[in-house]
């Protein structure tokens, strides 16, 4: 049995029910080893397989592994039996931001703080090629220190989901928060659609109600399509200007996240007197944050365990031969690895850009069979001189990615790497009888 009494897999003590849906229940729990509070999401595997939602579960797992950020709800591990899937998630003691709004509008300083954290989290997700597509106060949680946590990535899309036109085409989201171009079903940029949702959220934080609200769905979509709304009289001039630029119905003219961060209201010193940190601790200087952004993510025990094929739960959901990532273990400092990857990328005629947290992006300069090839190479730290590098296709044709991997990256890194795992491996797929662990 996976649960004996109220103990899950001899690891977690289950407590009260926090919420439930059609296919899952969420419980408060305590880690028996560390005493840490967590939320355990219990998914009925048979139901999701029968209804055909297994792709959504797969996507949620892979995306939550990608987006580790202080303002994104953290996935600690995944466990599974033949009948159940268990997510061990960060426990957000403060509940949903929606519950705060049920009491009315927020003070401008408080709204600014939450919006600041939201934009930083969404910007980070986009840098990983992840588009949330269902941003709303119900999916924004608060920890015990009132720090915002973006959650529920079940409707999210990866950059590789784009069609040949470079756009997403799946219509999804909550009507009152969805961008007009999503409604028209002609294709949309995931980043621009998320920005629109952030603008609706900012309006709701400051007003206490939605900018677009109609009982008739056709009328609601008409107002969204024209961005037809009014400001309450207490909205200040600067925030009005920002919201108007975010809620521009033409996605081509809509403000970008970079420009939002440069906007006077977003950068207002008046709101910065109280810490508006992206950290779970709620403190830290800019220098410390910049240092953290440059440092590769550190791999914990669950990450290391998950590298073993015997504990990798992705085999429950997909065939190993279909994986689009490869992993290398390297006995070199992160700076050496970055330089080597940049050198290889330039030799391959690809644009190399450095991002935060050990991530490098390699982008093809010429369009391929399925758009422009884009590859992420992310460095994870075991020790200061021992790292794992995960190489993953984000966009473009898989065969073109394999050619770059096998003819460029692999031989280019061969002199400093130990092993390469992943895309080229042909492992047998077995379902564990009792449990597995994945970070």
Q: Summarize the annotated binding site for ATP as residue ranges.
A: 41
How big is the CA angle at 103 (ends 98 and 107), to the nearest 5 degrees? Answer: 90
CA distances from 263 to 116, 239, 242, 249 (A): 12, 9, 7, 19
CA distances from 392 to 66, 164, 285, 308, 330 (A): 11, 19, 32, 18, 17
User: How far is the C-alpha of 122 from the C-alpha of 150, rounded, in Å?
Assistant: 8
291 Cβ contact partners less than 8 Å away, ≥ 6 residues apart: none
What is the crossing angle of helices 190-207 and 108-127, to 10°?
170
Backbone angles phi, psi at 70, to 5 degrees: -60, -20
248 Cβ contact partners less than 8 Å away, ≥ 6 residues apart: 227, 254, 255
User: How far is the C-alpha of 151 from the C-alpha of 119, rounded, in Å?
Assistant: 14
How far apart, in Å, do the first and last CA atoms of the chain sit?
22
Residue identified by tokens 């995306």 is 63
User: How far is the C-alpha of 211 from the C-alpha of 200, rounded, in Å?
Assistant: 7
Maximum separation of any 2 CA atoms in the chain, in Å: 65
Give the chain's count of helices (H) and strands (E). 15, 18
292 is catalytic: no
How big is the CA angle at 360 (ends 416 and 141), to the nearest 5 degrees? Answer: 125
Buried-state track 300-332, b at ≥16 Cβ within 10 A, e below 16:
eebbebbeeeebbbbbbbeebeebbbbbbbbeb
User: How far is the C-alpha of 326 from the C-alpha of 304, rounded, in Å?
Assistant: 15
Residue of 2, 99, 123, 134 with catalytic role: 134
User: How far is the C-alpha of 11 from the C-alpha of 435, rounded, in Å?
Assistant: 12
User: How far is the C-alpha of 295 from the C-alpha of 318, rounded, in Å?
Assistant: 32
Active site residues: 134
């Amino acid at each position: 049995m996976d649960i004996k009494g109220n103990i899950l897999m001899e690891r977690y003590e289950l407590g009260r029910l926090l919420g439930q849906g059609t296919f899952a229940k969420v419980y408060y729990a305590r880690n028996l080893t560390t005493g840490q509070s967590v939320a355990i999401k219990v998914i009925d595997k048979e139901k999701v397989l029968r209804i055909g939602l297994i792709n959504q579960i797969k996507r949620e797992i892979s995306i939550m592994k990608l987006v580790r950020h202080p303002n994104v709800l953290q996935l600690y591990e995944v466990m599974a039996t033949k009948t159940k899937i268990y997510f061990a998630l960060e426990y957000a003691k403060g509940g949903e931001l929606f519950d705060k709004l049920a009491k009315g509008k927020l003070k401008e300083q408080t709204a600014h703080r939450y919006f600041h954290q939201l934009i930083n989290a969404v910007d980070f997700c986009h840098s990983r090629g992840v588009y949330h597509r269902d941003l709303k106060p119900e999916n924004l949680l608060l920890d015990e220190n009132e720090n915002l946590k973006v959650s529920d990535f079940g409707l999210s899309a990866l950059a590789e989901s784009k069609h040949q036109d470079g756009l997403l085409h799946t219509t999804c989201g909550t009507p009152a928060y969805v961008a007009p171009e999503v409604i028209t079903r002609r294709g949309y940029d995931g980043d621009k659609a998320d920005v629109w949702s952030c603008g609706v959220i900012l309006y709701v934080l400051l007003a206490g109600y939605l900018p677009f609200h109609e009982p008739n769905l056709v009328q609601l979509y008409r107002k969204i399509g024209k961005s037809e709304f009014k400001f309450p009289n207490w909205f200040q001039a600067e925030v009005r200007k920002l919201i108007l630029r975010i809620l521009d119905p033409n996605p081509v003219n809509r403000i970008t996240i970079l420009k939002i961060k440069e906007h006077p209201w977003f950068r207002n010193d008046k709101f910065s007197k109280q810490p508006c940190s992206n950290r779970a601790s709620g403190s830290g200087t800019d220098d410390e944050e910049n240092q953290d952004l440059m440092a590769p993510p550190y791999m914990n025990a669950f990450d290391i365990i998950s590298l073993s094929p015997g504990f990798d739960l992705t085999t429950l959901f997909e065939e190993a031969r279909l994986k689009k990532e490869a992993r290398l273990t390297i006995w070199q400092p992160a700076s050496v690895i970055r330089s080597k990857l940049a050198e290889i990328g330039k030799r391959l005629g690809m644009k190399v850009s450095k991002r935060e947290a050990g991530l490098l992006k390699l982008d093809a300069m010429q369009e391929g069979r399925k758009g422009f090839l884009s590859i992420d190479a992310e460095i994870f730290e075991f020790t200061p001189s021992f790292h794992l590098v995960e190489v993953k296709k984000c966009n473009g044709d898989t065969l073109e990615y394999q050619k770059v991997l096998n003819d460029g990256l692999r031989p280019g890194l061969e002199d400093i790497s130990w092993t390469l795992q992943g895309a080229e491996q042909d492992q047998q797929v077995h379902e564990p009888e009792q449990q597995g662990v994945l970070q």
